[in-house]
Structure 1
Amino acid sequence: MKKVTLVDLEPIDHYTIKRSHPITEEDRHVVYSLYQPLVGIESISLYMMMLTEYERKSEQVQNHYFYMNLFGESITTIQEWRMRLEAIGLLNSYVEQNEIPLYYYELMPPVSAKSFFDDPLLSTFLFSKVGEATYVRLRDLFIVPKWKKDALHNVTRSFTDLFEPTSMRTLPALEENHQFETSIKEESSYRLPSFDFKALRDHLSEQLMDDAQFERLPKALIQNLAHLYQYSPFDMAEVLLIAMNQYGVELTEQTIRKTAVDFYKLNRSTEPPALRRKADDVPTTEEVSEVGDEKNDMLRYFNTVSPAQLLCDISQKQPYPTTLKLVERLMNEHSMPTPVINVLLHYIYLNYNGKITASLTETIAQQWAIKGIKTAKEAIAISKLEHTQYQKYKEEKERKPERPNMYTKRSTREEPVPEWFGKATEEEEKEETSEEVERLRQALIEELGIPKKEGDTNGTN
């Protein structure tokens, strides 16, 4: 007997279609409009073909050559489409180990549109795939306006108004191996990694949340949010405590979800988390060529760390509340991406003696926004360029005589410098010594690879 694994599906293997729930016309609308952007039109075509097979030739046994010939694709591609349906909760697959394996494909209806948009994973996955405008338009397709019934008089007849029992008879029982189709599937059937609720309980003291209140927490929602935002049990405990402090001890799904979003924006990113298939994570040629490179490691660090953690890393202490509020303003008022904020904070901290002032930081943020800086890589490039220009500006200023000579011809050429250099100069001149200036200049010369002239111990031309 052949041992079956995930990659052992062969064209000759048999299959049959099963169904435990009816799939309505409304379900089809949800599948086409909301699930198709998540798994692709190919997987949805396979799902609809399976549904047609079941409705036209119920439970007929067939082999997988049928799908290969129908779609003109390899068995590996057909299996990939099938696995996407399984992952999103539209299909359950079982196998019976025979000489020729027999697969049972159980078609599952989608969740309702309301449940889809209430589900933090499904709704965020859709948002990340189609963008805000299309997301809102798709949501509006399933919104039904409420109609007011308060001013109307209900004249609906009840069952007992028209019917009454005349005799009682013993009804025939359902056979043991039979069951009715259930009419609706509200809960999502996709599977997530388990969440450590015991660790969550350990992080919440009984004085703040007793056992009865902990048991009333919406466990499924907490598991979804933890997976979506990559929250640890400690992070989720922080979210719950913040929600209790803001909204009261009795938590609701709405308050937990809102607090989780706010916590993510403050500590991770202003952009919503983007869910994608693991197959989409293949590195590009440029990324592969930079693997192991120190610059790539730094770029990866800026792209993944939160601003609060970056401040802890570079200063070896907890950031001041005023600095965190500055970070929040950069996120919300300036709409600056988190990786760019990280580069900006790192740049200012290293070049201005660990002093991160609000006026200077927001001025540079505005300049970068005008220049369209959106990624950490772009931020690193512009910070290096502006630092180079600034050093040239300072060196020229230092070489100028304190008292202008009337016989000396003034140069009409000036190096272009960023608008914020005026503020930078005022603040820096109060702190930097001449030794620090020389150290920075030498570091810049080495980085640019400028060769020293013979007999020049300072490295100047």
Structure 2
Amino acid sequence: MEHIGKLLPNQGYSIYLKQEFTHAHLQSLMQLYQPLIGVHAVSLFMTLLSQYESSPNKQDPYTHHSLMQFVNLSLPEIYQARQKLEAIGLLETYQLDNDNETIFTYQLMMPCTPLQFFSDGMLSQLLYHQIGADKTNELYQLYAQGTKQNRNRGTNITAQFDEIFQKAPVERDMSVKAIDTIENQGPNISGTTISINDLSQLLSERMLPVEKILTPFNIKIIQQMASLYDLTTLDIEKAVVWALSDQYVLIEKEFKSACFDLYKQVTPESSKSLKVVDQKEKLKTKKDKPTNRQDQFVQMLEEISPRQLLEDLSNGNQASKQDLKMIADVMSQQGLTPGVMNVLIHYVMLKTDMKLTKSYLEKIASHWARKNVKTVRQAMTLAKSEHNKYQQWSTQKKPRYQKSGKKEVVPDWFRKQKDKQEQDEQKIQNEQQSSDSTSDVSELLRDYNKKKNHL
């Protein structure tokens, strides 16, 4: 829910455009960009473009409330679509905060032409992964190759300027400033996992011609592939060496293929499965508005992802990769839905002093999987009914090695006193946990409702 508070309906925006939108741009947007960013992002781009072209006064701001009506999307969907446009290089966003208002400026960047698109290593590779090799090649043949005409056109007999027009004497400088145009630079890559300096050093150690290999064009391709596949400098070095010709020319197609192969090697399925911690419960029907605190809590667990719950329970701090991997593994192995996993996270962290223990988590998850728990309410009901059993699991200790086989003899009064003391301690602990649980639920609901009211 990273959009919360970052975009409000009453905030205004103005649109800025430096280039003319042509038919080639439209074809590229619909055929090449849309598979990557989706229809919502394309709809947002075209709506902003239409508003700019139809507005008599370019300075008058629109409101995001009116934009919601134009595109028939919610504010979170608009924010998500905007981020996709920004990331792919079709939009630049500027924010100006005044005393009483916030105004955004949306600068539309024209899409790459088809030829530019297929010349961009990252865009073409993204399209390849999205729609497959056959469809990508079909589009390439249609657009990029279509610009090349192989037919014999004969001798060029085009008239020259000085053959037709007479040069008039120049009395004063009538030159005008060239129109400032902006060429689309492709996806917006803020930083990569590699260092070009380190890569240059590694190639030099191999006695390779660094200047011939690390050209500006090749560096751009290298940075794009490193960002796309999350590769290290050493990974990129391997891919570069693999893709060099006998003349030390970097073969782009082979380099991309090598990067993809390395990605598959260094990225295990368990790492790719981390995405499940960002999933939310898929609700089939729209439920009535919750009338009590428990219903509100159930709704919250259904509407947020395990990552968000973990971070909320940690006072907004970023969840560790170790905890996220643990949760992702449990969800994948036991087939738990995001909502059920949320109940498990909340229960375990409250009962184990805000710590996630893998063995304890797996044991309860396995029990719930055998019980075929599929909903948040089922998970909460089972957690309450099996609470005593789960408490025993969490407090079980390995038997200590005893040197002597003799039993320790203690008086009955001592045993009774000790049992009573343990019962009192357990009662206090249960009351404290109940109090902590109530306080924790109230705090989570308060934060959740506060965030939800911002939209």
TM-score category of the 2 structures, normalised to the smaller one? 0.5 to 0.7
Deviation at 1:228, TM superposition (A): 2.5
Deviations 1:166-190 (A, max 9, x none): 1113235768xxx7242x7253152
Q: Distance between the aligned counterparts of 1:15 and 1:103, measured in 2?
A: 4
Q: Which residue in the other structure is 2:26 paired with?
A: 28
Relative distance call for 1:9 and 1:146 in structure 2 (3 A) is: closer
Are 2:282 and 1:282 aligned? no
Asked if 2 retains the 8 angstrom alpha-carbon contact of 1:94 and 1:103, the reply is yes
Q: Which residue in the other structure is 1:63 paired with?
A: 63
Relative distance call for 1:193 and 1:281 in structure 2 (3 A) is: farther
User: 1:304-323 alignment to 2 at 5 Å?
Assistant: none
Deviation at 1:89, TM superposition (A): 0.9
Asked if 2 retains the 8 angstrom alpha-carbon contact of 1:200 and 1:233, the reply is yes
Q: Which residue in the other structure is 1:236 paired with?
A: 236
Are 2:167 and 1:171 aligned? no
What stretches of structure 1 of length at least 5 have no aligned partner? 300-461
DSSP-derived class of the 2:179 partner: coil
Relative distance call for 1:279 and 1:108 in structure 2 (3 A) is: farther
DSSP-derived class of the 1:157 partner: coil
TM-score, structure 2 normalization: 0.54
Relative distance call for 1:156 and 1:116 in structure 2 (3 A) is: same
Q: Distance between the aligned counterparts of 2:329 and 2:65, measured in 1?
A: 50
Are 2:76 and 1:76 aligned? yes
Relative distance call for 1:249 and 1:192 in structure 2 (3 A) is: farther
Asked if 2 retains the 8 angstrom alpha-carbon contact of 1:15 and 1:103, the reply is yes
Relative distance call for 1:155 and 1:193 in structure 2 (3 A) is: same
DSSP-derived class of the 1:204 partner: helix
Deviations 1:166-222 (A, max 9, x none): 1113235768xxx7242x725315224233112212222356124533553621011
Deviation at 1:160, TM superposition (A): 1.3
Give the superposed CA RMSD.
3.9
Q: Distance between the aligned counterparts of 1:222 and 1:9, measured in 2?
A: 35
Q: Which residue in the other structure is 1:433 paired with?
A: none
Higher helix share: 2
Deviation at 1:298, TM superposition (A): 11
DSSP-derived class of the 1:94 partner: strand
Q: Distance between the aligned counterparts of 2:8 and 2:263, measured in 1?
A: 47
Relative distance call for 1:30 and 1:257 in structure 2 (3 A) is: same
Deviations 1:49-95 (A, max 9, x none): 11111111152321111112223333222222111111111111112
What stretches of structure 2 of length at least 5 have no aligned partner? 282-304, 307-323, 334-455
Asked if 1 retains the 8 angstrom alpha-carbon contact of 2:95 and 2:105, the reply is yes
Q: Which residue in the other structure is 1:208 paired with?
A: 207
Q: Distance between the aligned counterparts of 2:254 and 2:40, measured in 1?
A: 35
Count matched residues. Answer: 283
Are 2:110 and 1:109 aligned? yes
Deviation at 1:153, TM superposition (A): 1.0
DSSP-derived class of the 1:45 partner: helix
Q: Distance between the aligned counterparts of 1:237 and 1:291, measured in 2?
A: 28
User: 1:100-139 alignment to 2 at 5 Å?
Assistant: 100-139=101-140
Q: Distance between the aligned counterparts of 2:117 and 2:54, measured in 1?
A: 29
Q: Distance between the aligned counterparts of 1:257 and 1:210, measured in 2?
A: 20
Relative distance call for 1:291 and 1:80 in structure 2 (3 A) is: closer
Q: Distance between the aligned counterparts of 2:4 and 2:328, measured in 1?
A: 38
Give the counterpart of 1:268 among 254, 264, 270.
264
Deviations 1:269-327 (A, max 9, x none): 699x9xx9x98873588x98x9748986998xxxxxxxxxxxxxxxxxxxxxxxxxxxx
Q: Which residue in the other structure is 1:52 paired with?
A: 50
Q: Which residue in the other structure is 2:163 paired with?
A: 161
Give the counterpart of 1:19 among 17, 20, 27.
17
Asked if 1 retains the 8 angstrom alpha-carbon contact of 2:47 and 2:70, the reply is no
Asked if 1 retains the 8 angstrom alpha-carbon contact of 2:90 and 2:111, the reply is yes
Asked if 2 retains the 8 angstrom alpha-carbon contact of 1:30 and 1:110, the reply is yes
Asked if 1 retains the 8 angstrom alpha-carbon contact of 2:95 and 2:104, the reply is yes
Are 2:248 and 1:250 aligned? yes
Deviation at 1:24, TM superposition (A): 0.7
TM-score, structure 1 normalization: 0.53
Relative distance call for 1:269 and 1:120 in structure 2 (3 A) is: farther
DSSP-derived class of the 1:103 partner: strand
